[in-house]
Amino acid sequence: MDRGFLGFESGPLHRLRGRERVLIAGAGGGFDVLSGLPIALSLLERGQQVILANLTFTAVTRTAAVEVGPGVFEARADSGGAQRYFPEQHLAEWLGGRSMSR
């Protein structure tokens, strides 16, 4: 087994070895993609590019999130708005603008 971020050990990390880009996606309202962070950070440590995606429950059209494709929005630290429930924006704040690529 591979040891990743903070000694996190996981079969998925082993199976993802050698992949250039990895998509980590959630489909439950925002906080499920957060549970993929240990894997994402481990992959980043190895120099792999990580893309985080999520099916949100937030009314993103009522935020400052930028629509980058039909029904696809980029949540950034400055994507706040009238929505108090916006876990993707909170994640972007926590990441502090750090790139999820090598």
pLDDT of residue 3: 63
Average confidence score pLDDT of the chain: 83
At 7, the pLDDT band (50, 70, 90 cuts) reads: low
Q: Please tell me which residue, 26 or 7, carries the higher pLDDT value.
A: 26
Let me know if residue 17 belongs to a domain: yes
> Residue 63 CA to chain centroid, in angstroms?
18
pLDDT value at 4 more than 80:
no
Number of domains in the chain: 1
Q: In a 10 Å sphere around its CB, with 0-12 CB exposed, 13-18 middle and 19+ buried, how is residue 60 labelled?
A: buried
Question: Is there a contact between 52 and 40 (Cβ–Cβ < 8 Å)?
Answer: yes
Distance (Å, whole) CA 45 – CA 19: 13
Residue 56, in any domain of the structure = yes
- Residue 82 within a domain: yes
Smallest CA-to-CA distance from 78 within 68, 67, 92 is with 92
Task: Please indicate, yes or no, if residue 12 is contained in any of the structural domains.
Answer: yes
Domain that holds residue 79: 2-95
Length of the chain counted residue by residue: 102
Q: Is 101's pLDDT higher than 60?
A: no
Measuring CA to CA, how many Å separate 73 from each of 45, 61, 88, 90? 26, 9, 10, 15
Has residue 26 been placed in a domain? yes
Residue 100 lies in a domain: no
Read off the pLDDT of each residue in 27-52 and give the average, rounded to a whole number. 85
Contact 65, 76 (CB under 8 A): yes
Query: What pLDDT is recorded for position 85?
Result: 85
Residue 24, pLDDT score = 93
